Amino acid sequence: MQDIRLRTFVFIALILLLSLIVSKLFSFDTAIIFFVITLIFYLISHIFWINELSKWLDKPKATQIPDGKGIWQDIFSKIYKNYRFDTKSKKDLTTAMEQFVQAADALLDGVVSLNESNEIIWCNKRAQLMFGIHARKDLNKPIQHIFRNSEFKKYLDDENYESPLQVDTENYINHIEVKVIPFGRYQKLLTARDISSMLKNELVRKEFVSNFTHELKTPLTVISGFIETLDQPKNNLSEDTKKIFTLMSDQANRMKDLINDLLLLSNIEASLNKNRSEKISVKRLFENIKITSTKLNKKKHKIKFDIDKELNIYGSKSEIQSAFTNLISNAISYTPEKGNILITWHLINNLPIMEVTDSGVGIPKNKINRITERFYRVDDDRSRSTGGTGLGLSIVKNIMLQHQGQLEISSELNNGSTFKLVFPKDRIIKST
């Protein structure tokens, strides 16, 4: 800019100087005419190049850019350089975008980019199949209007994206797991994974366990029956043989417990017991539990109950009783003699919560989140000696899942444990 102004100033100074010479050689009037005509030519040349620039801008092509003269030569050369740079950047960007879209389309997962109002900004091919999105028509429409599913809508509305959501679809892929990852200021990346084969395998596994345990039940009952028949005083068995029969009978009972627990677990998982809205009188439930826990309490623990008898819930009576008893029997098993066990049932923050706190052996921190896995035991020998099957807590966890509640565990090694069953508030029976 500075350069153009300087060059214009030099040019005008030059024609002024020339006009001065003309006025000396000829007359003042001739000098004025000379000055004006030179300026007009100067102006016309600028108008010409401005017009050339305007024509070129209508259809910009690098090969057809005017050459220009004087100042205009510089200007056109700068425009040319910028134009080439822009074209190259645009080309690079387009290539990068194309590569990104191709890579995203090759993904096996569905990916959708959403704005603050959950409107679709972009999605890959897999997402189109999973959610039934039309590539062009559905852009800028809220995804919950395209993929209509109440659970999915709730998941988006709740904005709690910590854990993924499994949903069934009527589209090309039937079972998907959806996860939302917020990014940028208000945008979200929604990813969807096809879990159809995983669910199928899971089902096959569960059916196998269920059928297998069911098939084991009959031969085991026959074997136990024979052991009992043979182990009779009238058979005059020797002490050694008696010991063998006792051992056989104990092991047969252990197997029975295992089979019963496995069957219970697969029944809960398969949701066979669908009636989870029975009215449960907690007062009566705890009366039964007190009797059972007194029977189980062989180690002279101090067991205390602190129960809100007015707080009743909807659920499956047998399953809730099984969950409560499991926790109490664990507390009894894993607390050394004369320990303390406190069982409470109260409304805490509007949620019905059952808590079992013991002064027992506790669980190492790094093992707490594993103890609800099937057959996981902190200490194999100790657990076997308590007669446990290793399935109790997975049963409790599954029962809570089927009741839309959760099992929370806090514990410290050698310092006791607290197991909490938290039920959702819509399971509370409102007293009339």
Listed residue (17, 7, 80) closest to 46, CA to CA: 7
Nearest distance, CB of residue 368 and ligand ADP, angstroms: 9
Q: Nearest approach, Cβ of 390 to ligand ADP (angstroms)?
A: 4
Q: Which two tokens stand for residue 209?
A: 């366990």
- Report in angstroms how near the CB of residue 341 gets to ligand ADP at its nearest: 9
> Based on CB atoms, which residue is closest to ligand ADP, 124 or 417?
417
Residue 90 CA to residue 74 CA, distance in Å, equals 24
Minimal distance, residue 288 CB to ligand ADP, in Å: 20
Nearer to ligand ADP, 309 or 382 (CB): 382
**Rounded Cα distance, 170 and 328, in Å:** 44
User: Nearest distance from residue 168's CB to ligand ADP, in Å?
Assistant: 30
Give whichever of 123 and 363 is closer to ligand ADP, judged by the CB atom. Answer: 363
For ligand ADP, give the closer residue by CB, 244 or 255: 255
Whose Cβ is closer to ligand ADP: residue 310's or residue 412's?
Answer: 412
- Smallest separation (angstroms) from ligand ADP to the CB of 296: 12
- 352 or 388: whose CB is closer to ligand ADP? 388
Residue 110 or 360 with smaller CB distance to ligand ADP: 360
Of 279, 316, 307, the closest CA to residue 398 belongs to 316
The residue (of 23 and 372) whose beta carbon lies closer to ligand ADP is 372
In the complex, least distance from residue 352 CB atom to ligand ADP, rounded to whole angstroms: 21
- Least distance between ligand ADP and beta carbon 103 (Å): 45
Output 311 or 396, the one with its CB closest to ligand ADP: 396
Q: Smaller CB distance to ligand ADP: residue 133 or 399?
A: 399
Residues that bind ligand ADP (CB under 6 A): 330-331, 334, 358, 360-363, 371, 377-379, 383, 388-393, 417
Which are the contacts of 188, defined by CB distance < 8 A and separation ≥ 6?
113, 114, 115, 118, 180, 181, 182
Shortest distance, position 323 Cβ to ligand ADP, whole Å: 11
Q: How distant, in Å, are the alpha carbons of 102, 191, 278 from that of 139?
A: 19, 17, 46
- For 11, 280, 428, the CA distances from 314, given in Å and listed in that order, are 97, 6, 6
Of 53 and 258, which has the nearer Cβ to ligand ADP? 258
CA–CA distance from 332 to each of 61, 210, 237, 422 (Å)?
A: 86, 29, 36, 21
CB of 275 to ligand ADP, least distance (A): 25
CB of 424 to ligand ADP, least distance (A): 23
Residue closest to ligand ADP (Cβ): 388
In the complex, minimum distance from the CB of residue 429 to ligand ADP, in angstroms, rounded to a whole number? 29
Looking at the Cβ atoms of 138 and 355, the one nearer to ligand ADP is 355
